Structure 1
């Protein structure tokens, strides 16, 4: 198939994009759509505040518009790889192709795996934004709780610290909040998903993987 799914990392950290590319390798096969991971090089160094979200949103919309003009025939779908879904609706205005935000897709996948969903955020600064999104989507009653790692996007590359915090926060969400399934609330943690699932014995959803799986379904269905 000659279609490409463009996975947009809306921050400027190329190491995050490399991690996305590595985690999504199992989703590619010879006859299937290509998956291209892109770094928003003018984006902020991590989406960690409301200002970061708003500034990245315009850049995401502009990138999608540019890709539609330059590569429109080969585009199968777009995935915005940030849990705040920056520019999701703006990007959808630029194209008739599917545009998937990883927060929406991650939560939809999690709700198919358990009744009570726990979200592992990276920082407290965006948790109010997330809560508003859950309420707007009508799924707030399914969110058992959300807790932060208190680590920035760049700090997620420190494997020892990140694993320790993931285990601590994940256990709290499981044991104290009754979470039956956990969602990683950032695109920068796919390398920890399987390990955390084994440690906690509950399903753990990486939202970018969930979004790309949905995008594959849409692209293949479209032929």
Structure 2
């Protein structure tokens, strides 16, 4: 099978790291196609960034229909464009935050998220609530480092994740830790050994969910909510997103 992993930001170095994480989890017969959109922010750390990344995500999903893709992974912890992406394809589309909280709910009763800048705390609280997990996620812990800072200085990033992860276990009584950024995959195994609880990287979780859904032969429901968008014209910079661009 072929899984397209879309990094919604445009930083290619980060996409390479995401690709490595995805391939480390994928089966030998699964092809990973990791991409960044041709338009969008270099990192996603606000509502503004998130919303402006969505057209690029949708464009990559539409292209995936012609690339023979069997499933898609949206590799940003805000899951930007997840529901819209499901409207333009019948293939499974999995968000990494969605996958991580669902996996954690099987492995632990209570869990905390450790992520990047403090400003995204509310964004993630709203996301967790939308997945019905607000009673299971006991805390969302932030760090002073941005998304790309973890790429530039992984040692400092690891130290902050270690510190907040330990606080999550000792103070939140979290029984699992979720890494709240697609660029944190490299830290998961070491943290799990140190903290003694499951540490879940969303990219890995999403790839395994995508493989399982494809193996089961399931596709996105087109009955109502995720049916293809209504036929209409888009103008200006969004003209290319008109109805005719969607391959059904």
TM-score interval, normalised by the smaller of the two chains = over 0.9
Does structure 1 residue 36 correspond to structure 2 residue 30? no
SS of residue matched to 1:180: coil
Q: Partner residue of 2:56?
A: 59
Aligned residue pairs: how many? 217
Q: Partner residue of 2:93?
A: 99
Q: Partner residue of 2:182?
A: 187
Aligned mates of 2:125, 2:26 — CA distance in 1: 34
Does structure 1 residue 124 correspond to structure 2 residue 118? yes
Q: Partner residue of 2:222?
A: none
Higher strand proportion, which one?
Answer: 1
Aligned residue among 4, 8, 11 for 1:13: 11
Going from structure 1 to structure 2, the CA distance change for 1:89 and 1:204 (only over 3 Å counts) comes to same
Aligned mates of 1:222, 1:9 — CA distance in 2: 25
Q: Partner residue of 1:159?
A: 154
Which stretches in structure 2 are left out of the alignment for 5+ residues? 219-248
SS of residue matched to 1:174: helix
- Aligned partners of 1:183 and 1:207 also within 8 Å: yes
How big is the shift at 1:222? Answer: 2.1
Does structure 1 residue 23 correspond to structure 2 residue 21? yes
TM-score (norm 2): 0.84
How big is the shift at 1:124? Answer: 1.4
Stretch of structure 1 that moved more, 94-103 or 118-127:
118-127
SS of residue matched to 1:100: strand
Does structure 1 residue 110 correspond to structure 2 residue 104? yes
Which stretches in structure 1 are left out of the alignment for 5+ residues? none
Aligned mates of 1:147, 1:221 — CA distance in 2: 35
How big is the shift at 1:181? Answer: 0.2
